[in-house]
Structure 1
Amino acid sequence: MSVNDAQIWNRTPPHDEAAEIAVLGGLMIDNEQWHAVSDLPPEAFFRERHRVLWQAMTVLMADGTGVDLVTLQSLLAGQKSGFSDTSMLEEIGGVGYLIGLGQQVPFAYRTPEYGQIVRDRWARRLLLEHGMRVARAEAGVGTEPLSTAELTDLAANVPMPASKPSSHIVTGAAADQGAIEYVRLLAGGNSPAIRTGFPDLDKVFCGFHPGSLTVIGARPSMGKSSLAIGIAERVALKGRFVQVLSLEMKASQIAMRQLCHAARVSLKSALSGEAKESELGRLETAAARRALNGLPNYLDQPDTTMQAVERLATHLKNANRLDLLVIDYLGLISVPGRDGDENDTQKLGIISRALKTLAIQLDLPVVVLHQLSRSLEARQEKRPRMSDLRQSGRIEEDADNILFVYRDEYYSPNTDQQGIAEIIVGKQRQGERNVNARLKFHSDSATFQSLASEITTIF
Structure 2
Amino acid sequence: MLTSPELALIYKGIIELFNKGKAMDYTLLEHEMRALDHELYAEMNGLNYVGDGLLSVVDDVHVTTYADLIVEEYQRNSLRLLAMELSGKCGSRDIPVEQILQLANSKLEEIAGMGVNSTSTRQISEIGQEVVARHTRLLENGGTSVGYSTGLKGMDDIMGGFMRGEVAIASALTSHGKTALSLFMAVQIALKGVPVYIISLEMSMEQLYGRILMSMSTVSPENLRMHGLTETEIAVAKGLNETTLKRLPLFIDYIASARPEDIRAKVKLARKRKQCDFLILDYINQLDTGHAQGENLATSLGHAMKRIKDLAVEENIPALVLAQMNREIEKRNDNYKHKLSDLRDSGVLEQAADVVFFINRPELQGNGKGDDGESLVGIGNINILKNRNGATGTTKFRYNNHMTRISDY
Query: Under a length normalisation based on structure 2, what TM-score does the superposition of the two structures give?
Result: 0.67
Instruction: Name the residue aligned to 1:35.
Output: none
Instruction: Name the residue aligned to 1:378.
Output: 331
Instruction: State, as a whole percentage, how many aligned pairs show the same letter.
Output: 23
CA contact (8 A) 1:218 1:384 kept: no
Q: Distance in 2 between matches of 1:237 and 1:318?
A: 21
Q: How does 1:19-418 map to 2 (within 5 A)?
A: 40=65, 105-107=80-82, 165-166=117-118, 168-170=120-122, 189=142, 191-338=145-292, 344-380=297-333, 381-389=335-343, 392-412=346-366, 414-415=368-369, 416-418=375-377
Instruction: Name the residue aligned to 2:378.
Output: 419
Q: Distance in 1 between matches of 2:53 and 2:201?
A: 33
Relative to structure 1, the CA distance from residue 104 to residue 242 in structure 2 (aligned partners, 3 Å threshold; closer, same or farther) is same
* Unaligned segments of structure 2, at least 5 residues: 1-44, 55-62, 84-107, 370-374
Once the 2 structures are TM-superposed, how far is the Cα of residue 402 of structure 1 from its aligned partner?
1.3
CA contact (8 A) 1:306 1:335 kept: yes
Relative to structure 1, the CA distance from residue 301 to residue 359 in structure 2 (aligned partners, 3 Å threshold; closer, same or farther) is same
Q: Distance in 2 between matches of 1:165 and 1:186?
A: 32
CA contact (8 A) 2:298 2:349 kept: no
Q: Distance in 1 between matches of 2:112 and 2:361?
A: 52
Q: Distance in 2 between matches of 1:402 and 1:440?
A: 20
Once the 2 structures are TM-superposed, how far is the Cα of residue 114 of structure 1 from its aligned partner?
9.3
Relative to structure 1, the CA distance from residue 175 to residue 9 in structure 2 (aligned partners, 3 Å threshold; closer, same or farther) is closer
CA contact (8 A) 2:79 2:111 kept: no
Once the 2 structures are TM-superposed, how far is the Cα of residue 13 of structure 1 from its aligned partner?
3.9
Would you say 1:442 and 2:400 are equivalent positions? yes
Relative to structure 1, the CA distance from residue 42 to residue 366 in structure 2 (aligned partners, 3 Å threshold; closer, same or farther) is same
Instruction: Name the residue aligned to 1:432.
Output: 391
* Unaligned segments of structure 1, at least 5 residues: 1-6, 17-37, 46-53, 58-100, 116-163, 453-459
Relative to structure 1, the CA distance from residue 215 to residue 207 in structure 2 (aligned partners, 3 Å threshold; closer, same or farther) is same
Q: Distance in 2 between matches of 1:367 and 1:165?
A: 27
CA contact (8 A) 1:439 1:448 kept: no
Once the 2 structures are TM-superposed, how far is the Cα of residue 285 of structure 1 from its aligned partner?
2.5
Q: Tell me, what secondary structure is at the counterpart of 1:106?
A: helix
Larger Rg: 2
CA contact (8 A) 2:285 2:301 kept: yes
Instruction: Name the residue aligned to 1:451.
Output: 408
Q: Distance in 1 between matches of 2:182 and 2:278?
A: 11
| CA deviations over 1:238-289 (Å, ceiling 9, x no partner) | 1111110000011110110221232312212221125332233323233333
Once the 2 structures are TM-superposed, how far is the Cα of residue 202 of structure 1 from its aligned partner?
2.4
Q: Tell me, what secondary structure is at the counterpart of 1:299?
A: strand
Alpha-carbon RMSD across the aligned residues, in angstroms, is 3.8
| CA deviations over 1:205-248 (Å, ceiling 9, x no partner) | 31111110111111111110111111111111111111100000
Q: Tell me, what secondary structure is at the counterpart of 1:40?
A: helix
Relative to structure 1, the CA distance from residue 270 to residue 183 in structure 2 (aligned partners, 3 Å threshold; closer, same or farther) is closer
Q: Distance in 2 between matches of 1:282 and 1:339?
A: 52
Instruction: Name the residue aligned to 1:150.
Output: none
Amino acid at match of 2:377: Q
Q: Distance in 1 between matches of 2:243 and 2:173?
A: 34
| CA deviations over 1:150-173 (Å, ceiling 9, x no partner) | xxxxxxxxxxxxxx8545345667
CA contact (8 A) 1:260 1:283 kept: no
Q: Distance in 2 between matches of 1:227 and 1:441?
A: 10
Amino acid at match of 1:168: S
Amino acid at match of 1:406: N
| CA deviations over 1:176-213 (Å, ceiling 9, x no partner) | 77766666666665554211123343233311111101
Residues paired across the two proteins, number: 322
CA contact (8 A) 2:291 2:300 kept: no
Relative to structure 1, the CA distance from residue 39 to residue 249 in structure 2 (aligned partners, 3 Å threshold; closer, same or farther) is same
Amino acid at match of 1:451: D
Q: Distance in 1 between matches of 2:233 and 2:131?
A: 53
Amino acid at match of 2:350: E
Query: Under a length normalisation based on structure 1, what TM-score does the superposition of the two structures give?
Result: 0.60
Q: Distance in 1 between matches of 2:189 and 2:215?
A: 18
Instruction: Name the residue aligned to 1:158.
Output: none
Q: Distance in 2 between matches of 1:185 and 1:432?
A: 24
Amino acid at match of 1:241: P
